[in-house]
Structure 1
């Protein structure tokens, strides 16, 4: 069987490369692409532009990647001082991608910001700056470094079955986190300070989100799960 096709939502940012280029670009950290490919799928980047959701009909799986903050207006909040990196076009594209994937039964893995998109899409809210809530920098310890912290996973839950364990250290880099859970969402993992670190959609076994960055770690379980789900989709086409 051909490799299943997994789309990964991408950034639109000013970027520099080569000797002289400094231009707006569609980009994504290579680790996402490598993790999807290593799991046996074919990765495809999805730019944050109008109409991207139409590609979902040709995908077998979807990764909602990490990135800047979601516009707080989407969960009826005022923008706090520390909220940064809001890209309305990316918000629009990713919420549409998620809707299309759920409508068509395409498996979804939300990573960091991607998990937050999954929560907000179902009426949930976010803490806009976790140090103000937990009084520590454990979730983003150093600039541009994916430092680990421990996570506890609900026993007998969907995530525990995928990971094969209920305690692990995860590579993390985020300053926002889930506050109120959206409807039909179950928390499946927590940091020591009580911040939710993983969610599932109770009515959609093919939808899972984690607050950490598995592409930056050495455990391929989540990408293996997504690829297996995507193969099932591909086999039914």
Structure 2
């Protein structure tokens, strides 16, 4: 059997056919395709804050990208440019914390990396341009920032990426403190782009969007760890 990989999803208004602006559980199809092409069976996980019992049916988990986290999760006050969907936070924190407890293979993408960081006791910067003086990590609405990352020698991400250091990112927040996780990749301006937990089977967070190119290195490593 293919490993079953859960992917967290949004609830947003969507339209198709004769139906318009219906509340819908959705996620960009690139996530599903990336898991499938890497040899896994993707299932979508709508927000649910009751429990994390669904993890007993999964072999791995993808924390997908999306809006900002509510700053209260890391003990901060909301800043003007923070935009969050609190109903999504509750359920995803349950999943992330339980996945860490049971050592379920886990990949966090963009928001997913930030959520993983906070679940591990870390904190975030709420608006990087205020600290960096540039918008290279999110140059325009719907436009990915083309960056290069530097990966720590000997890290999991360095082994997976090899000499390929090009990444496509779209974020205005970033990791300030990784908590119990380890930062293993940064862009040239010092922004953390990768976090890991070497003590667990597979815990990897990337601030960029590997699903856009359906990166078989990262999704393949997740699926392999989930076998």
**Deviations 1:20-50 (CA, angstroms, capped at 9, x unpaired):** 3211110100110010000010000000122
TM-score, with length taken from structure 1: 0.92
Structure 1 residue 219 displacement after superposition:
3.3
**Deviations 1:156-215 (CA, angstroms, capped at 9, x unpaired):** 1121112233x5111111110001221x21110001110000001243241110000000
Alignment of 1:143-162 (within 5 A): 143-162=141-160
Question: Which residue of structure 1 aligns with residue 68 of structure 2?
Answer: 69
Quick check: 1:108–1:207 contact (8 Å CA) kept in 2?
Answer: yes
C-alpha distance in 2 between matches for 1:143 and 1:206: 32
C-alpha distance in 1 between matches for 2:13 and 2:69: 19
> What is the aligned counterpart of 1:168 among 147, 165, 169?
165
C-alpha distance in 1 between matches for 2:200 and 2:107: 12
Question: Which residue of structure 1 aligns with residue 36 of structure 2?
Answer: 37
Quick check: 1:9–1:94 contact (8 Å CA) kept in 2?
Answer: yes
2:25 is equivalent to residue 26 of structure 1: yes
> What is the aligned counterpart of 2:175 among 175, 178, 194?
178
Question: Which residue of structure 1 aligns with residue 79 of structure 2?
Answer: 80
Structure 1 residue 115 displacement after superposition:
0.5
Question: Which residue of structure 1 aligns with residue 189 of structure 2?
Answer: 193
Q: How many aligned positions are there?
A: 227
Structure 1 residue 17 displacement after superposition:
2.0
> What is the aligned counterpart of 2:107 among 106, 109, 113?
109
SS in 2 for 1:187: strand
2:221 is equivalent to residue 210 of structure 1: no
Quick check: 1:170–1:217 contact (8 Å CA) kept in 2?
Answer: no
TM-score, with length taken from structure 2: 0.96
Unaligned 5+ segments in structure 2 are none
Question: Which residue of structure 1 aligns with residue 133 of structure 2?
Answer: 135
Quick check: 2:104–2:201 contact (8 Å CA) kept in 1?
Answer: no
Alignment of 1:41-60 (within 5 A): 41-51=40-50, 53-60=52-59
Alignment of 1:6-25 (within 5 A): 6-25=5-24
> What is the aligned counterpart of 2:219 among 217, 220, 223?
223
C-alpha distance in 2 between matches for 1:115 and 1:5: 21
C-alpha distance in 2 between matches for 1:52 and 1:139: 34
CA RMSD of aligned residues (A): 1.3
Structure 1 residue 5 displacement after superposition:
0.2
C-alpha distance in 2 between matches for 1:173 and 1:52: 30
Unaligned 5+ segments in structure 1 are 232-237
